[in-house]
Structure formats: structure tokens, C-alpha cells
Amino acid sequence: MSTRPSTSGLGHIALYVRALDVSERFYHDVFGMVVISRPHADTVYLTTGRDNLSLHLADGLGAQGSQRVDHFGFLVEEASAVDAWFDYLNKRNVTVSQPPKDHADGARSLYCRDPDGNTIQVLHHPALGG
């Protein structure tokens, strides 16, 4: 039996987007992410300081634009921060697809959408340290 190597957790996600500048501005303006690199004309890497979001310009409706992810999330430290995010997102006219709610496992979250329709969860979960 082989030993599984360790990881530092899930800290990177890559998304195909229709308009690189629009998505970059959304993640910067709404979630406060900063650009750490533009390795290619069709790629930008952003971070909050604890993660890495890679945005890639989708090539039309080809195979790379057909992959889908259910959702990804930003952790917050307190359950009340989910409600603060709800107010903030509404003021920024960001589509909130599910308002704040409590979960059976002690978590509290909401769901919103980015300019490409990707679902983003804002999540407080005591077991995750956020």
C-alpha cells in the first residue's frame, strides 16, 4: 500500500470566461482579489492572499467552454459576515441566486453568480475555520 502525499488543501480553481477583462474586474471589485500574474494574453491569476483563481479566455463554444463546475466558495470568519455580504452584493447589483440560510451542519451561506453565470458560495463553516 502506498502512502498518500499531503496537500495544503484546495486553494486553486481555473475558470473559462467569455470576457477576461469583465471577469477580472468582477473578482477584483466585488471580492477584492488582486492580480498576481498575467502569464499570457488570455490568462490572468488573482488572489485574496490565501488562494489562486486562474481566469482563461474561453475559445468560443469549443470543448474548453463546455466543462462545468457546480460552485466554488469564499470562506468568511463569522456567520454574520454572510449577511453583510448579502447586503454588499445587492448594493453592487450582483445576482444573488440564494439568500443567506443556515445549514444543518452549523454552516451559513449564500450563493451568487459571476458575469459568466458561475455560482459562488459565500460560506461560514465552523469546521473549516471560517
Structure confidence at residue 84 (pLDDT): 95
CATH code, 70-130:
3.10.180.10
CA distances from 23 to 5, 79, 84 (A): 34, 27, 22
pLDDT tens digit sequence for 3-46: 875 667 778 999 999 999 999 999 999 999 999 999 889 999 99
Q: Which CATH number fits domain 10-62: 3.40.50.2300, 3.40.50.1100, 3.10.180.10, 3.30.200.190?
A: 3.10.180.10
Task: Please tell me the pTM assigned to this model.
Answer: 0.83
* Cα 120 versus chain centre, distance: 5
With beta carbons less than 8 A apart as the criterion, state whether 17 and 24 touch. no
Q: What is the DSSP letter of 70?
A: S
Please list the residues that pair with 5 across neighbouring strands: none
Check the CA dihedral 126-111-75-53 and report its sign: positive
pLDDT tens digit sequence for 76-125: 999 999 999 999 999 999 999 999 999 988 999 999 999 999 999 999 99
